Structure 1
Amino acid sequence: MSVRLQPGDPAPAFTLPDADGRPVSLADHAGRKVIVYFYPAALTPGCTKQACDFTDNLELLAGAGYDVIGVSPDKPEKLAKFREREDLRVTLVSDPDKAVLTAYGAFGEKKLYGKTVTGVIRSTVIVDADGKVERALYNVKATGHVAKLIKDLAL
């Protein structure tokens, strides 16, 4: 079972390529809160709904001091296609070797249709302005998750 982050833990540092192949680091966002969300695959119905929900609420989140980074094992080319097809404005980064997914506890055993499989665990980690985990949410639902997050953060 993968290690799950807890509030107060230092958020694992990362630098991953975005949809254009440019490096994005957690350190680039120092001094701001960051919502790092992990999703299984671009261009799938649930992941599309979730990415669109984050895009639709980006101004509200940014206005409250939050940046949003979506992480998946997809290659940058697929992320670019996803961004263009769905008109996404959130930063999407590629973690094909799953090192960051694993470091954040977002890759491991999960239940899928009653079977135990190994894969991406849909998760959201909120990192505070000091680089510490504020909240770590695992096995979140694709639909309604962003609305619940906004409610829980009292935004």
Structure 2
Amino acid sequence: MTTETHSSEDICRLPLPAREFRMSFTSTPRGARLARRLASHRLDAWGHPYESDLNTTVTLIVGELAANAVTHGRVPGRDFRLFLSVDPAEGLARVEVTDTRDDRMPPGPPSALPEPDADSGRGLCLVAALASRWAVAPRTDGGPGKTVYAEVAV
């Protein structure tokens, strides 16, 4: 019989597992707010404290994408979905927000900031500035709608 022992240095070098969180939310401002709060709470539970750069950045991105799903991607009676993952091995956090409206696609990368007195139009500018990469893709599960995703380096 062979037993294997590890020093404390070896244990510290073991890669951290990828973490994932999925949940559906009502397509309301309250649902968007809850998605943002739960994402921040989940990141804190995964070892990224509330005040950390990763937590604040990802929480802001979740808030913007959830607000857009509620404002522009809402279909009455249908929820939007949030998928959040952090993979330390890849050094990447990923946010996906999926809504059920495919006739209203977000524009490509923002070319300029909106006018200072504009009521809206800054959300995707913030996402583009904070994320390493972001894009829009059709839903992969065959349902109507789209997924807007953003990736942030860990």
* TM-score above 0.5, yes or no: no
For normalisation by structure 2, the TM-score amounts to 0.26
Q: Which protein has the bigger strand share?
A: 1
For normalisation by structure 1, the TM-score amounts to 0.26
Instruction: Identify which of structures 1 and 2 has the higher relative contact order when contacts are C-alpha pairs closer than 8 Å and 6+ apart.
Output: 1
Bigger Cα Rg: 2
